[in-house]
Amino acid sequence: DAKTTQPNSMESNEEEPVHLPCNHSTISGTDYIHWYRQLPSQGPEYVIHGLTSNVNNRMASLAIAEDRKSSTLILHRATLRDAAVYYCILKIRINYGGSQGNLIFGKGTKLSVKP
């Protein structure tokens, strides 16, 4: 499985944008880029995913580099509730268009948000 590299920790101020980077230099052309986060004392939560183009949803935006070797999760206005560990995960796309079932988690980035 292709590997991802994330900073161990980042800090942000409340109501400011946060850019969480992820390097995945060995990504293949068929890998999806997924982001999940885990709030304290909870199970992981899906945030966003993409393949080649930038993506937006109600939680965040995902900016994917043109060569796909890196991506950035953007939280437009961080809140205290966004303090969590963020995981960048590559998932192998399989024949029918979706990806294989299991997630391979790395260490993730622990985001702290200061009031």
Partner 1 sequence: KAGVTQTPRYLIKTRGQQVTLSCSPISGHRSVSWYQQTPGQGLQFLFEYFSETQRNKGNFPGRFSGRQFSNSRSEMNVSTLELGDSALYLCASSSMGYRGRENIQYFGAGTRLSVL
Nearer to partner 1, 24 or 91 (CB): 91
Q: How far is the CB of 2 from partner 1 (least distance, A)?
A: 16
Q: Tell me the CB-side half-sphere exposure of residue 17, using CA atoms within 13 A.
A: 7
Q: Closest CB to partner 1 among 17 and 98?
A: 98
What's the closest the beta carbon of residue 32 comes to partner 1, in angstroms?
A: 6
CA–CA distance, 97 with 109 (Å, rounded to integer):
29
| Residue numbers 60-79 binding partner 1 by CB under 8 A | none
* 45: nearest Cα among 58, 26, 32, 27: 58
Interface contacts to partner 1, rule CB under 8 A: 32, 36, 41-46, 49, 87, 91, 96-107
